[in-house]
A = this chain, B = another copy of it.
C-alpha cells in the first residue's frame, strides 16, 4: 500500500483514454528482446494459430512486439527462419524405435512419426529437400540415430543412406499428398476416364491419403527386407 517502488505508473497504464499500443525508446535495449529460441517459438505459435500464409516477417515481428527490421539482427532471411522451423519440427519426430526394435519395425514407426509431423508443416517440405542438415542439430541427431540403427541391423553404411533418402522422399511426398482435397481424383465425365471414375466411386468416403501411405510404406519395407544383406528375403 504505502510502498515507494515504481509500480504506480506501469507501462500498461495509459495517461489518458487514447490507445497507446507500444512505447519503447529508440536505442538498443539493455537486455536483448529477441533470440533464435524466441523467434522460433513465436513463428510456431503464429503458424499454429493462423497457418503458413500468415507467417510474414511483419506479422512475426508484430507477435514479438518488435519492428520487422529487428528480426534481421538475428536471422539472415526468411529462408533461414524456415530452416530453424524445420529443425524444430524434426525435434518432434520419434526415431527412438531404432534403439529397441528390429530395423524394419523401427523404419515403419519412424516413417509414420515423420509424416505426421510434416502433414501440419507441408510448406516446409520444399525447404527440407534442399537444405543441408549441418546447421540443424536436431536434424543431424535424427539422421544419425536412423543410420546407426540401420547399420546395427546389418545394412552397409552407404546403402543405409539410400534407404533413408528413399523413405524420406516417400514420406515427404505423402505429407504433401495428405494436404490435398479428398476429391482430387474426381473426374467430371466418366466416358473419358472410365477406370478412374469407377475407382473414384469405390474410394469415396475413405481416407485415401492414409490408405495410400500405408500401402506404400508396407511395400517399401517389404522390398527393403528382400534386399537386406542378411535378410530372409530374396
Interface membership of A198, Cβ < 8 A: yes
Given contacts A172-B176, A212-B161, contact A196 B125 (CB under 8 A): no
Given contacts A147-B199, A158-B202, A219-B224, contact A212 B166 (CB under 8 A): yes
Interface membership of A32, Cβ < 8 A: no
Taking a contact as CB atoms under 8 Å apart, the answer to whether B202 and A148 are in contact is no
Given contacts A143-B193, A215-B163, contact A130 B187 (CB under 8 A): no
Residues of B within 8 A of A144 (CB): 187, 192-196
What's the number of copies of this chain in the assembled complex?
A: 2
Residues of B within 8 A of A141 (CB): 192-193
- Cα–Cα distance between A196 and B150 once the two chains are bound (Å): 11
Of all chain B residues, the one with the shortest Cβ separation from A224 is: B219
Interface range for A: 35 or more
Taking a contact as CB atoms under 8 Å apart, the answer to whether B167 and A216 are in contact is yes
Taking a contact as CB atoms under 8 Å apart, the answer to whether B203 and A161 are in contact is yes
**A contacts with B: majority SS:** helix
Taking a contact as CB atoms under 8 Å apart, the answer to whether A166 and B130 are in contact is no
Of all chain B residues, the one with the shortest Cβ separation from A128 is: B176
CB distance from A7 to the nearest CB of B (A): 44
Of A9-17, A87-95, A178-186, which binds chain B?
A178-186
Of A38-46, A56-64, A73-81, A131-139, which binds chain B?
A131-139
CB distance from A127 to the nearest CB of B (A): 10
- Cα–Cα distance between A132 and B184 once the two chains are bound (Å): 4
Taking a contact as CB atoms under 8 Å apart, the answer to whether A215 and B176 are in contact is no
Of all chain B residues, the one with the shortest Cβ separation from A152 is: B195
Interface membership of A140, Cβ < 8 A: yes
Taking a contact as CB atoms under 8 Å apart, the answer to whether B222 and A226 are in contact is yes
Per CB-CB distance, the 9 closest pairs between chain A and chain B, nearest first, are A219-B223, A166-B216, A173-B173, A169-B173, A165-B212, A222-B223, A129-B176, A144-B193, A157-B199
